[in-house]
Structure 1
Amino acid sequence: MHAMNYRITLPADYDMQTIRHRVAAKGHLLDDFPGLGQKAYLMREKGVDGSPVNQYAPFYLWNTAEGMNSFLWGPGFRTLVGDFGRPVVEHWTGLGFVRGAAFSTAPRSAGRRSQPVAPGEDPAAAVSRALDGLAETASRPGLHCAALLIDPRHWELLHFTLWQDAAPEEPGEERYEVLHLSKPGLDDIRTGRQW
């Protein structure tokens, strides 16, 4: 499993209905994209749920590197670059994935929280603790699914969750509205530890 996210911060007076219309018109285009596990079309609005910014922030879980590359070098991403400029694309290696009790429902919200692995800390111990936390998250009511990811360049763990209703408030977590979920290979994402 590979993960990818780009967060496009928009002006404070940007009409976020533009993003809603964009996703309503184009979101279905990735509903059968080869190699894609899921794409959550995420948005947050300044002043809503404590968001300090307007932001469009699609989050992807990929089953294959080929699928991810096909998207990045293909027409869909080129269109986004033409509309918004080329965003920084963050990416992570998958450590674990769990399905929650609300997996069969359409998620309405998402949470994204980064956690640095402290200098001098054993990365394997940090990952092990985070995987224990992921297992606990799986039992939370309203959870659709959750992924634990790592960026070994910056030694950063990323916790990503989708929720049936409003995402629970967690310290340091960014909360998003899910406008659409493309999920052509969601059932193929292996659950549990990824090695």
Structure 2
Amino acid sequence: MHAMQYEVTFPADYDMGIIRERVATRHAFTDTFAGLGVKAYLMREKGVDSSPVNAYAPLYLWRTPEGMNTFLWGPAFQGLVADFGRPVVQHWAGVAYEEGATATGAARTAVRRRMPVEAGAELPELTAESVQEVARLASTDGVLFAAAAVDPRTWELLTFSVWDDTPPKTPGDIYQVLHVSQPERERLQRGRQW
């Protein structure tokens, strides 16, 4: 599994209805995209759930690198680039993925937590703890799925969970989920990714 996210930020007075409409009219393309486990179409609105910004920030869990590459080098991503400019694409190597206790519910909210991996951290211990954290999150009532991944270039740990409602106090950035494309979600490897 590979996690990927880009974020497009907008001015404070930007009409986020434009993003809602964009997702509503374009998500069908990724609903059947080969190699894609999950694409969560995420949005933040300034002042909602303590968000300091307006942003469109979809997060992907790729089942195959070929699917990810086909997306990035193909017309779908180029459409985003044409409309908003080319964003930085963040990428993390998968550590763990689990289906949640509410695996078939409707996605409403997502939580993304990014933490630096300290220079002295023992990587086997860190990844083992991340696998346990994903399992704990997935067993929480209201969680549809959860994942963890690491960017070994910047040494950042990403933990990501999707909920059927507003989660209890959970550290991280809270996003509204506009849609979830999940063409190969059932084929994502569960548990640890090595």
TM-score range, shorter chain: over 0.9
Q: SS state of the match for residue 101, structure 1? A: coil
Q: What is the 5 A alignment of 1:8-87?
A: 8-87=8-87
1:176 matched to 2:189? The reply is: no
2:96 aligns with 96
Q: Residues of 2 paired with 1:30 and 1:133: CA distance?
A: 28
Contact 2:9–2:56 (8 Å) recurs in 1:
yes
Q: Residues of 2 paired with 1:70 and 1:108: CA distance?
A: 28
1:121 matched to 2:118? The reply is: no
Q: SS state of the match for residue 27, structure 2? A: helix
Greater CA deviation, 131-140 or 157-166?
131-140
2:149 aligns with 149
Q: Residues of 2 paired with 1:103 and 1:48: CA distance?
A: 26
Q: Residues of 1 paired with 2:138 and 2:25: CA distance?
A: 32
Q: Residues of 2 paired with 1:20 and 1:123: CA distance?
A: 39
Please tell me the root mean square deviation across aligned C-alpha atoms, in Å: 0.9
Deviations, residues 29-76 of structure 1 (Å, cap 9, x unaligned): 110001000100000100001000000001000011000000001001
Greater CA deviation, 16-25 or 131-140?
131-140
TM-score (norm 2): 0.98
Letter aligned with residue 124 of structure 2:
A
Contact 2:106–2:164 (8 Å) recurs in 1:
yes
Structure 1 gaps, min length 5: none
Q: Residues of 2 paired with 1:29 and 1:2: CA distance?
A: 20
Q: Residues of 2 paired with 1:130 and 1:181: CA distance?
A: 24
Percent of matched pairs sharing the same residue? 54
Deviations, residues 163-193 of structure 1 (Å, cap 9, x unaligned): 011133323x000000011100000001111
Contact 2:107–2:144 (8 Å) recurs in 1:
yes
Structure 2 gaps, min length 5: none
Letter aligned with residue 115 of structure 1:
M
Q: Residues of 2 paired with 1:106 and 1:24: CA distance?
A: 15
Letter aligned with residue 160 of structure 2:
F
Deviations, residues 143-162 of structure 1 (Å, cap 9, x unaligned): 00000101011111100000
Letter aligned with residue 166 of structure 1:
T
Q: Residues of 1 paired with 2:133 and 2:34: CA distance?
A: 31
